[in-house]
């Protein structure tokens, strides 16, 4: 079974920086497992690795999709499998890093078997979301499948859409398919670690990073997306872009945009923390102590 390293944790836990040090130490190459960082033109707002960071070690699957493209766990597994195979052929170690817990779980444990959804059902759900909005559809989802709705954001159109498609077509809860799968057998021999800083420190980092992305260019990125007709793209729902859009539209002030973005990011981090508490792997609460992390991985790889 192929050996890989996975680095998970909530947003702003410094996973990307840690992954670079891990890849340097163990001849690795980094693969993205963050759903927001797959899209082009959105590097700053999604806190994707910088060009300088990408130059330190090979990075894969960052900023590769058009904002109108869709990414889901199944597609992620397929393209990540391809990159893992390529990296292993070079006798290097794949280092998968990201905060999208479902993607990491699917990569290691496999995918639940969900029926193919007919196109007419997809169209019906798409029209419902466009008419009612994601927040209202999320409340509807919560009535039908409270377990799954609790795991996702009211603004996560793609996951809301997918869950409602399955519910309408099968008349079963979306979460039931995952429960029935069991996720017992591993697809890879992984060394999983989770970066989980104390809540207070994490929130401070989120607030600081939010100010940074507004200073460094999310406003220009949002202007570009709007000028190129990406307002209705799935990717535009990423935290920060809608808030910036409202600022540019004179609906809220810049300080309100920053505060709302930070609040939504903290809420997102809280959901990530809940998810990752249930996952396998060694948890590190002091991400600045990189030597402890490296020594642990080295021990596991022996």
Quote the tokens at residue 200.
């207070």
Strand (E) positions, 160-266? 189-195
- How would you write 206-237 as a 3-class SS string? HHHHHHHHHHHCHHHHHHHHHHCCCCCCHHHH
4, 185, 186, 234 from 297: Cα distances, Å: 11, 22, 19, 36
How far apart, in whole angstroms, are the C-alpha atoms of residue 141 and residue 147? 10
Can you give the residue ranges of every domain in the chain?
3-110+183-301, 119-181
The pLDDT assigned to 278 comes to: 85
β-strand pairing of 28-32 with 3-8? unpaired
Q: In what order do the strands lie in the sheet with 3-8?
A: 59-60, 28-32, 93-97, 3-8, 189-195, 282-284
- H or E element that contains 47: none
CATH topology of domain 3-110+183-301: Rossmann fold (3.40.50)
The pLDDT assigned to 70 comes to: 87
CATH number assigned to the domain covering 119-181: 1.10.20.140
The pLDDT assigned to 158 comes to: 82
Fold match flag (3-110+183-301 vs 119-181): no
H helix intervals, 10-72: 15-25, 51-56
The pLDDT assigned to 1 comes to: 62
Cross-strand partners of 4: 190
pTM score: 0.82
Q: Output the CA torsion 96→12→224→156 (10° steps).
A: 80
How far apart, in whole angstroms, are the C-alpha atoms of residue 215 and residue 137? 33
**pLDDT tens track, the chain, 302 positions:** 679 999 999 999 999 999 999 999 999 999 999 999 999 999 999 999 999 999 999 999 999 999 999 898 889 999 999 999 999 999 999 999 999 998 999 999 887 777 788 899 888 999 999 899 999 999 999 999 998 998 888 888 888 998 999 999 999 898 887 676 555 578 999 999 999 999 999 999 999 999 999 999 999 999 999 999 999 998 998 999 999 999 999 999 999 999 999 999 999 999 999 999 988 889 999 988 999 999 999 999 98
Note whether 244 and 189 are within 8 A (CB): no
The pLDDT assigned to 115 comes to: 79
């Amino acid at each position: 079974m192929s050996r890989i390293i996975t680095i998970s944790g909530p947003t702003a836990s410094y996973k990307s920086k840690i992954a670079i040090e891990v890849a340097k130490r163990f001849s690795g190459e980094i693969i993205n497992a963050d759903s927001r960082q797959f899209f082009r033109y959105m590097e700053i707002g999604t806190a994707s690795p910088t060009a300088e960071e990408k130059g330190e070690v090979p990075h894969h699957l960052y900023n590769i999709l058009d904002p109108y493209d869709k990414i889901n766990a199944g597609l992620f597994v397929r393209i990540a499998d391809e990159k893992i195979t390529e990296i292993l052929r070079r006798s290097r170690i794949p280092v998968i890093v990201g905060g999208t817990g479902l993607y990491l779980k699917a990569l290691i444990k496999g995918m639940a078997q969900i029926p193919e959804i007919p196109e007419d059902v997809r169209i019906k759900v798409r029209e419902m979301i466009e008419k009612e909005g994601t927040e209202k559809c999320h409340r509807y989802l919560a009535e039908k499948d409270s377990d799954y709705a609790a795991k996702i954001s009211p603004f996560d159109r793609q996951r809301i859409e997918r869950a409602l498609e399955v519910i309408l077509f099968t008349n079963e809860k979306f979460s039931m398919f995952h429960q029935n799968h069991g996720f017992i057998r591993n697809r890879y021999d992984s060394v999983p670690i989770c970066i989980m800083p104390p809540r207070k420190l994490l929130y401070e980092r989120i607030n600081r990073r939010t100010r940074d992305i507004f200073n460094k260019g999310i406003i220009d990125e949002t202007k570009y997306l709007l000028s190129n007709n990406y307002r209705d793209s799935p990717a535009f729902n990423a935290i920060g872009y809608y808030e910036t859009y409202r600022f540019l539209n004179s609906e809220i002030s810049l300080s309100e945009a920053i505060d709302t973005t930070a609040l939504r990011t903290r809420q997102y981090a809280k959901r990530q923390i809940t998810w990752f508490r249930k996952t396998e792997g060694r948890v590190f609460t002091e991400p600045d102590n990189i030597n402890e992390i490296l020594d642990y991985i080295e021990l596991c790889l022996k």
